[in-house]
């Protein structure tokens, strides 16, 4: 597979640091690591900073409802690595309209409205970043959930007629391998892990998991019995916009 004149098969034989350097050498200034600061993302941040790959941006999406421990952790990362993480936020007018139409807690009403809330608060800000870069680097791994078990190392996405490379350099790493790297390299760890969280999203929508539960079980728990596709939408096709109360009358 080729992307912008580059043979992507070269990525197959590289280690994670090599994959990041490959991107930085070819797309410096037009590549970004998107992260919510799980161990996966922190490993990528550490490698990017350790190898001085300054051409790769680091960004996160502040939905304005993140778990409170996340905000000071961003400052911890900035201090530890001497960097400034780019914090993206949702469009205020879009959030206001969504809340006016459906209420602040619309995510309880239906899967459709949960995905709409995620779209406004998280997916759209991320898409605005994707409009500015050529390579989107994620921490997706096959081991994270049944839905993600087919995660590829890379794929080329269509962004309104413009191709963009989505790179998942840790796609085949295990939890044990991730933790081993984190410990060996003194990488900052999000304090929510100690509270039993397996992923870090919004208040209410993210809870700790119990021993033996799927890693995504803590997301939108009220849907656990009916839906095992626990995704915010970043890695899914755009959801339909739910009708307002007025439109359904």
List active site positions: 232
Structure-token match 């809330």, residue found: 117
Structure tokens at 170: 């840790």
**d(Cα 133, Cα 36) in Å, to the nearest integer?**
18
Closest-CA residue to 135 (of 25, 247, 51):
25
**d(Cα 42, Cα 200) in Å, to the nearest integer?**
13
Three-state secondary structure call for residue 138: coil
**d(Cα 248, Cα 153) in Å, to the nearest integer?**
43
Buried b (16+ CB within 10 A) or exposed e, 178-187: beebbeeeeb
Closest-CA residue to 116 (of 221, 240, 230):
240
């Amino acid at each position: 597979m080729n992307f912008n004149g580059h043979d992507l098969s070269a990525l197959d034989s590289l280690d994670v640091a090599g994959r990041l350097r490959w991107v930085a050498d070819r797309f410096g200034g037009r590549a970004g690591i998107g992260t919510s600061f799980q161990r996966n993302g922190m490993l990528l941040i550490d490698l990017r900073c350790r190898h001085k790959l300054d051409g790769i941006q680091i960004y996160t999406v502040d939905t304005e409802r993140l778990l409170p421990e996340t905000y000071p952790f961003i400052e911890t990362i900035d201090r530890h690595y001497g960097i400034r993480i780019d914090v993206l936020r949702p469009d205020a007018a879009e959030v206001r309209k969504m809340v006016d139409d459906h209420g602040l807690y619309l995510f309880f009403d239906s899967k459709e409205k949960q995905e709409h809330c995620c779209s406004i608060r998280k997916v759209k800000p991320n898409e605005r970043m994707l409009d500015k870069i050529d390579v989107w680097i994620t921490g997706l791994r096959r081991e994270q959930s049944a839905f993600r078990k087919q995660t590829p190392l890379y794929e080329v996405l269509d962004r309104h007629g413009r191709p963009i490379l989505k790179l998942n350099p840790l796609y085949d790493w295990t939890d044990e391998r991730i933790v081993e790297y984190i410990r060996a390299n003194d990488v900052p760890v999000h304090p929510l892990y100690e509270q039993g969280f397996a992923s870090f999203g919004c208040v209410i929508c993210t809870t700790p998991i119990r021993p033996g539960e799927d890693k995504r079980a803590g997301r939108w728990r009220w849907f656990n019995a009916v839906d095992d596709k626990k995704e915010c939408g970043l890695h899914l096709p755009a959801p339909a916009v739910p009708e307002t109360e007025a439109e359904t009358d």
